[in-house]
Amino acid sequence: MSVNEILLAAGGALIMAFFSMVGGLWFAGIDRVLAARMQARIGPPVRQPFLDIAKLMIKQNVVPANAIPWLFNGAPVVALASAVTILLYIPMAGIPGLPILQGHGDLVLIMYLLILPALAMVAGGLAAGSPYATIGAQREMVTMIAYELPLAATIIAFAWKFASLGIEHPFSLATVAAQPVWTLVGPVGFMGLLLLLVTMLLVVPGELGRIPFDAPEAETEIAGGLLVEYSGRNLALFTLSLAVKTIVVTSLIVGLFFPWNLTDILAVACCATTAAMINLAFFILKLLVVMFFSVTLVRISVARFRINQVVDVYWKILGVLALLGMFLVMADALF
């Protein structure tokens, strides 16, 4: 990379960070309003998460006496930074120049990067020196281990499909985005992909720590768990990292399963800027739909799982489902 490219990437990363935070908070507001309406409530205004962040930023930032200050204060920064970093690898709506780090990472890297914000939260929780935060941190680690199996199975299934067709860079998200995977499989593989889609939609609440997989935070049990000691600016950073992560995981699902662009479907020919705008709007709509089905709808319709039930659900139910989906995708090639 030349100096110019690096500067360009850095500038792009800042812009991405800004937009992903704004977008994530906007999504959080929409999620809250949708959930409220389904519970026959009015709900907060959509801008509520922005007001919350603004409030947290001016509030006192308390560091507990028995916390490890550098780790306690560092964790939120790492969480936010790593969440933004993932976004630099995920293609968006085929807009030229995105992802900023195109060609530098693949799905395996994204899988590892996804662990980082969660690990930062674990470190922050353990550094807080509160028993509730410690319990929350342990639960977070268990949850991470739990949802890794269905996540990995899905990614392997995708890579195997593309590799078996002799496509170059099977692990690259750009490859997946360029060729919607549904068009490459027959009826059996289609069934398998459906199973993988359901699995991935249910991995999202685990990744984001939402009900029913919110055992690490579990307000009524451990009073917010990992975040119990966090306040003010640090809590705002964690909230922002969660907002960015919402965009990240929904983008990942859209990138894997629904990479179509509106301009391609309608086959409209217009200038590049207009096309990019239309595609971006369509992309955000897809993200919202994915968020509605994987976060909002799930969290209002079930009770919270115990931590051992989280593992059971991810390994025994979703893990088996994902493996079955993977085998169906593989079996599809045989027919």
Partner 1 sequence: MKTIEVKKPSGYFTQIGPAHPALKEPVMFNLDVEGERIIKADFAPGMSHRGIEWMGLRRNCIQVIYLAERICGICGITHSISFVRAVEQIAQIQVPVRAHYIRSIVGELERIHSHLLWAGVAAHELGFDSAFYLAWRVRENVMDLVEYLTGNRVHYAMIQIGGVRRDITREQFPRIEESMKFFDNAYDQLARVFLDDTTVQMRCRDCGVLTYEEARQLCPVGPTARASGIKKDVRVDHPYAGYADLDIEYMTPDRLTGEVRGDVYDRIVVRLLEVKQSIALVRQLLEQMPDGPLLAIPKPAVLLAKLKGAAGEAVGRHEAPRGEVMHYVRLEAGKDEPVSWKVKASSYSNYLSWIPMMEGEQIADIPIIAASIDPCISCTDRVALVQDGNRRVLTKAELHRLSVEKTRRIQASLSAR
Interface contacts to partner 1, rule CB under 8 A: 38-41, 131, 135, 138, 211-212, 214-215, 218-224, 300-309
- Report CA 5 to chain centroid distance, whole Å: 27
136 within 8 A of 216, measured Cβ to Cβ = yes
Tokens standing for residue 256: 């894997």
Minimum distance, C-beta of residue 304 to partner 1, in the bound complex (Å): 3
In the block, tokens 């720590």 appear at 209
- Of the pair 147, 258, the CB lying nearest partner 1 is at 147
The residues near 301 (Cβ < 8 Å, ≥ 6 apart) are none
In the block, tokens 């207009």 appear at 274
- Of the pair 252, 307, the CB lying nearest partner 1 is at 307
Minimum distance, C-beta of residue 137 to partner 1, in the bound complex (Å): 13
Minimum distance, C-beta of residue 242 to partner 1, in the bound complex (Å): 17
How many angstroms separate the CA atoms of 30 and 302, rounded?
A: 20
| Element containing residue 7 per DSSP (H, E) | helix 3-38
- Of the pair 260, 314, the CB lying nearest partner 1 is at 314
- Of the pair 120, 228, the CB lying nearest partner 1 is at 228
Minimum distance, C-beta of residue 138 to partner 1, in the bound complex (Å): 8
22, 147, 149, 153 from 320: Cα distances, Å: 37, 12, 9, 10
How many angstroms separate the CA atoms of 301 and 335, rounded?
A: 39
- Of the pair 210, 286, the CB lying nearest partner 1 is at 210
Minimum distance, C-beta of residue 65 to partner 1, in the bound complex (Å): 18
Minimum distance, C-beta of residue 204 to partner 1, in the bound complex (Å): 17
Classify burial at 251, counting beta carbons within 10 Å of its beta carbon; exposed 0-12, middle 13-18, buried 19 or more: buried
136 within 8 A of 223, measured Cβ to Cβ = no
- Of the pair 38, 285, the CB lying nearest partner 1 is at 38
